[in-house]
Amino acid sequence: MTTEWGALAGLFAVDETVLRWYEARAAARPTQAINAASVAELRRSVETDPALWTADADATYAKRLWLDLSTLTPHVSGPDTVKAATPLATLEPRRVAIQKAYVVSCVNSRVKDLREAADVVRAVQRAHPGQKVAAAAGVSWYVAPASSQVLADAQASGDWQVLLDAGARPLPPGCGPCIGLGVGLLEDGVVCISATNRNYKGRMGSKRAHTYLASPAVVAASALRGYICSPAAAIKGDAADAAAASAEPSTVLYGIESGSPSSSALPATASAASSAIDGFPAALSGRLVFLPADNLNTDGIYPGKYTYQDDITRDQMRAIVMENYDPEFSRLVQPEDVVVAGANFGTGSSREQAATALLAAGVRLVICESASETFKRNAVNNGLLVLESPALVSWLRARFDSGLTIVTGLDARVALTAGKVALVDSAGAQVFETAIPRIGKAAQEIIVAGGLENWVRQRMAAAAN
């Protein structure tokens, strides 16, 4: 979830639950990193110096989010977005038919996940002795272990065979349908339910398919019944369906609180204007191309099915950039265009091609309402500038309200070191101006070098001389 929120790192305090998990793991399957001695040392450190393992008492936060887990009930995300979730109790009576089901990926195909799915099958078998328990007619069910070790453990426990006996089709460990690779991909018009963590359009196959996300238990139940449902519905059949139709979904209690008074967001501009180093453009200008969508994810920018094709040329990357968002983008965009986008731009996978494909299209600068921190890091590391300007996006939204890729007819004149962007119309009149973050020296050096890899190579060469 750290990645989904756009952050670069997520930290969990080490508590007794974590320590017990490590101790059980070290006892069951010791490794060089996790073994009795290393875990004992971790416990000793936590108990003798707890301040090292918890947040400082005076730590400040931009926001505090809380969730009452006792009010949480099963939900299903989608279709085709992780941003929309529906209580299972609300969705089940709609009998949303599925044609494919997946318990795959590194996220939700761990040992306990496969056991949850297998336990649903076992429960149905106990409720209907003597009957063949298998995926519903017209449903293709795929299972893949998160790793070869997970496969070995699931085979040893019998969970793997239970799933295969129920008609699940085995796939090997590693990336597969979740990122649009291998067999079992979605075709046009197919509806699927998956225990993966992303369901962006086109990620698992056709852009004309629809993907819901749910837990392994719900996926297994849905595969057996042929529509999105709870394990209870798979076990009890029509009686459970009737009960679900009359059930009222509970209210999930949560909150988002503002941060500590002493904490604040970074200012839009630095205290003093920065200067441009040799080779760095103090200003850029170009046509303004507006992409009004929020949450434009990396699958939309660069489809996952191309991620592992290492022989794709820059010309080919230019042709497929934004393919899952708007196939017309590659035709409309021109070199030196300034792309402006909505909130949470670049959310999703950390693939660097989402940045390099924009560079291949001749885009040197993206300005957005907000951007995924992971995407921003990937962008600058590959020589693409990404800046945030909610004011600019708000102004554009008020004037351009339709279309996926909008060639606005405006020119953007961006003063990178002065921290300003001005928009000029076709008559040469300035129609808008606002402050933007200034580009500091460290980022300038990486951009001038053409990316972090080149920057490191240059420093190594200089050190060698």
pLDDT in tens, 66-109: 999 999 899 999 999 888 899 999 999 999 999 999 999 888 89
CA distances from 174 to 106, 171, 289, 412 (A): 7, 9, 38, 44
- Cα–Cα distance for residue pair 289/303, rounded to 1 Å: 21
pLDDT in tens, 240-252: 555 555 456 678 8
What angle (nearest 5°) sits at the alpha carbon of residue 332, between those of residues 331 and 334? 100
Q: Which two tokens stand for residue 115?
A: 């056991």
Q: Taking residues 372-380, what's their average pLDDT?
A: 90
**What is the structure's pLDDT at 4?**
64
pLDDT at 388 over 60: yes
Cβ neighbourhood burial of 449 (10 Å; 0-12, 13-18, 19+): middle
pLDDT in tens, 277-292: 999 999 999 999 999 9
Report if pTM > 0.75. yes
pLDDT in tens, 188-240: 999 999 999 889 888 899 989 999 999 999 999 999 999 999 999 999 876 55
Q: How many CA atoms lie within 13 A of 269 on its CB side?
A: 14
Q: Are 308 and 181 in contact (CB under 8 A)?
A: yes
**What is the structure's pLDDT at 384?**
95
- Cα–Cα distance for residue pair 173/326, rounded to 1 Å: 32
Can you list the alpha helix ranges (DSSP code H) found in 361-411? 373-381, 390-397
pLDDT at 128 over 60: yes
